[in-house]
Structure 1
């Protein structure tokens, strides 16, 4: 499966666009639409480069989710892909969220698991609450 345009637009909305590197709420150097790999202090990019980085990062997340070999709707695929894009494959791999999905848990149980992932640097962040709620709702679409 591939990310929907709905997901791509939501990621852009959630991440915002920053063409100069900055440290995110967890203290990680970030640029573009939440790109972190190899980012350094003082780095600058164009909007076109930010779009390319987003597509590359999304491809990595999509490949991971596809590799789970779980039958998913487009909404479920988007929800998991956004989760991996935002938090990384390692966090999904060892999560109760993934265990519940694999066990065939109810949509409500799975939505509850999405909603647990709202902390960065030990702080509950409003932006993460909104993002996890979007994922929880996208799971049932």
Structure 2
């Protein structure tokens, strides 16, 4: 009997983002806090806001954002996704943003039923500006692996 591996969006995102209680600048110089949040309680994160966030509050906030991101993806993707595909896309869209996903070749390929070609698109999103970022490349490889992991019935 083959056992299915079902990945969890919050765990995947938190593993890649890591937790930081105090504001910090990401690789592009954008102020973030928690698990890569650029906003906290409706306000943009800055060098001094918020002063700090708790792990518990950040985990709750991440769950809300992951659920919201998954719903946004489901409204854009016209094919049925399995849980691992949705998890991979949730991590991806959390990182690159909904507007980038909405205009992406990946979404067009998904909506035309070209699943394998859409999966190959993950690896094209490994840059910050004009530079390949090793951490993004690792993240995209993992997202692609999760996306391609079948679920047994």
Q: Same fold (TM over 0.5)?
A: yes
Name stretches of at least 5 consecutive residues in structure 2 with no aligned partner.
Answer: 1-5
Structure 2: how far apart are the matches of 1:97 and 1:5? 20
Cα pair distance change 1:101/1:5, threshold 3 Å: closer
Is 2:79–2:113's contact at 8 Å kept on the other side of the alignment?
Answer: no
Query: How big is the shift at 1:5?
Result: 5.7
Distance 2:9 2:102 in 1: 21
Max Rg structure: 2
Alignment map for 1:111-126 (pairs within 5 Å) = 111-126=119-134
Whole-Å separation in 1 of the counterparts to 2:100 and 2:75:
15
Secondary structure class of the residue paired with 2:24: strand
2:107 to 98, 102, 109: 98
The answer to whether the 8 Å contact 1:35/1:57 transfers is: no
Q: 2:21 aligns with which of 10, 19, 22?
A: 19
C-alpha separation in 2, matches of 1:120 and 1:55? 25
Match for residue 79 of structure 1 among 88, 95, 104 = 88
Q: Unaligned 5+ residue runs, structure 1?
A: none
The C-alpha deviation readout for 1:55-88, integer Å capped at 9, x for no partner, is 2221221121121243101111111111111111
Distance 1:54 1:18 in 2: 13
TM-score, length of structure 2 as denominator length: 0.83
What CA distance in whole angstroms lies between the structure 1 residues aligned with 2:115 and 2:24? Answer: 39
Q: Alpha carbon RMSD of aligned pairs, Å?
A: 1.5
1:41 corresponds in structure 2 to 47
* TM value normalised by structure 1: 0.89
Shift of 1:20: 0.3
